Chain A
Amino acid sequence: MDQDGSALRQNNGRADRQASLSLSLRLEGVEVQLGGRVVIHALSCTLEAGECLGIIGPNGAGKSTLLKAIVQLVRYRGRIWLGDEPLERLGQDRRARWLAYLSQADRLSWPLAVYDLVALGRQPYRRGWRWGEDLSETDRRAIEEAMRATDCWSLRARSLETLSGGERARVRLARALAVEAPVLLADEPIAALDPRHQLEVMTLLRAQTQAGKTVGLILHDLTLASRFCNRLLLLQQGRLIALGSPAQVLSPEHLRAVYGIEALMGSVQGETYILPWSLF
């Protein structure tokens, strides 16, 4: 980690060692209006430093909008703090290095080579004109690490248009990991993955938090949410319904009230599984 720091300092000419930083993200009364409609109602919560917070809720609950507000893509009222700094005043350069964001939309304009796409995650560390391939050693190491972690190093020379949906999802995740930001926000990162890769990616994200990263994820798979997230945040129609441990949040009452479903629940090896079973 210390080595990281010195390399980054060289890279930026400044002393922020974000790769080894562990930051919390605190929302204070964040309210979002889109087209005159309130999409998020004054919401306050904290992503603790080094935790994996799962954001769950039915379609249209405002999960994606919440992430977009945090990365300053939509306007909001209220305050967001990253560590002890107000996010709004961070400036886009530092925000880009501290907050990595993986959107839901999988629309890539040009069929870049996989490696080139992941390398875009290193752009926040670069200044000015860039025509050539001027990746530093730190950049290369970060790119390779991110690609190996997401199991797409072997795809590096392939063109994006030759990849399957799952492979693309992993490549996009590698792009977000390559930023090496202390906070990672991902909008349904495992939606397109097969079961094996879902488990792999969740394990990987969990490992990121053990290294001190703060991770916020939007998920639909309740079992994976329960098993891999430290805490869950349940949203419904823009309101926070519950925030707490998976066991507290994923109660049968909540599932009925919010999703309108009955679920089969049980536990295997001390971990809970939740199987949506019937309509309520």
Chain B
Amino acid sequence: MRLPGLHLYATLGIALVFLSLAALAIGPVPLGVGEVIEGLLGTGPETHQLIVREIRLPRVMLAWLVGAALGMAGAALQGLLRNPLAEPGILGISASASLGAVMTLYFGLTLLSPWVLPIAAMLFAWVATLLLWGLTRAGADQLTLILAGIALSSFASALTSLALNFAPNPTDAQDIVLWLLGSLADKGLTELWFGLPFVLVGLGLLSSCASALDLLTLGEEEAHSLGLNLRRLRARVVLGAALCVGPTVAVTGTIGFVGLVVPHLLRPWVGFRPGALLPVSALGGALLVLAADLAVRLVPTAREPMLGVITALIGLPFFLSLLLGRRQSWD
């Protein structure tokens, strides 16, 4: 039989390497590929080493991390809910994390320490996760899980709007709005180390659900008859998605669309198998976020456009063309 798209992995991997090199080369001080590699290896001039290793590489790696986390979380949730419309936001975890962050901005707590915001966001994400996890442990079905997620999401968004509504001064309101749009600008190694352990555990947890998600394709009843423990699968996916999404939102703000569009784009290439889609979506997510961040940096505007906006702008045409293409093949 065919391999699970070995050339798909290769294509995505090569694209990721090339794009990463481009991201390391492009900037206010343009570097050649040779200079980038020298900088990485620590053999070039000190300024080049500094630019490549201290400034650009952390941002590139953060893009990988965020993209991989959002991509795989989206793929796992779509697999679990057996619905291509599911995305990491559907469980209300990202909205809760946002709320935590917005609260610190609203109360001006960010002045105390740069760590206050990501920690508050993580805490709020965890509260939401524990709630959902408790629901799945109590035996809630798919629909209850989605409804709880929507309720949680709406509640958090309402409180976020309230914070905007009552923001003490316009700059606070602007800070909040800009943060909500998501960005990798001025983010570096500290953010990377903050998010990395959580995301790695999350990615591992989600990866371990691959064959269970494949089984779920048959429907809950037959999957159960083949040995699937649905309750445990739900708990694992909720936990894994939270570990991926919580720190991502905490570090970069909400970056939409990646978790929705990446699995959707790649699904036909893995023969629609939810399990095989997981690692591929992580790669694809990294690719999309990196490309979007590169676009953000390249656009010659006075002020960098926000990443969350660009992922949507890049993702949308792809998404639409795909949908229309499929419509035609159905007709």
Contact = CB atoms under 8 A, between A and B. Distances in A.
Question: Are A and B subunits of one complex?
Answer: yes
Interface of A: 68, 71-73, 92-93, 95-97, 99-103, 105, 107-113, 115-117, 120-121, 123-124, 126, 128-133, 135, 140, 159, 175-176, 179
20 contacts: A68-B221, A73-B221, A95-B227, A96-B227, A101-B222, A103-B225, A107-B219, A109-B83, A109-B219, A110-B82, A110-B217, A116-B271, A124-B227, A130-B210, A130-B275, A131-B210, A131-B275, A131-B278, A133-B2, A159-B272
Contact of B219 (A72, A95, A108, A111): A108
Contacts of B149: none
B222 A123 contact: no
Q: How large is the interface on B (under 10, 10 to 19, 20 to 34, 35 or more residues)?
A: 20 to 34
A159 B267 CA distance: 13
A110 B267 contact: yes
B276 interface: yes
B224 interface: yes
Contacts of B279: 131
A100 B1 CA distance: 25
Contact of B227 (A105, A123, A131): A123
B216 interface: yes
Contacts of A103: 219, 221-222, 225
B272 to A, nearest CB: 4
A22 B51 CA distance: 71
Nearest to B9: A131
Contacts of B1: 115, 133, 135, 140
A120 B226 contact: yes
Contacts of B274: 110
Contacts of B43: none
B227 A132 contact: no
Contacts of A95: 225, 227
Contacts of A140: 1
A108 B217 contact: yes
B215 interface: yes
A129 B210 CA distance: 7
Interface in B211-268: 211, 214-219, 221-222, 224-227, 229, 267
Nearest to A97: B227
Nearest to A124: B227
Contacts of B210: 129-131
Nearest to A91: B227
B231 to A, nearest CB: 12
A99 B225 contact: yes
A65 to B, nearest CB: 12
A96 B267 CA distance: 28
A104 to B, nearest CB: 9
A179 to B, nearest CB: 7
A72 B224 contact: yes
A263 to B, nearest CB: 32
Interface in B64-123: 82-83
Contacts of A132: 3-4
A179 B226 contact: yes
B185 to A, nearest CB: 34
B210 to A, nearest CB: 6
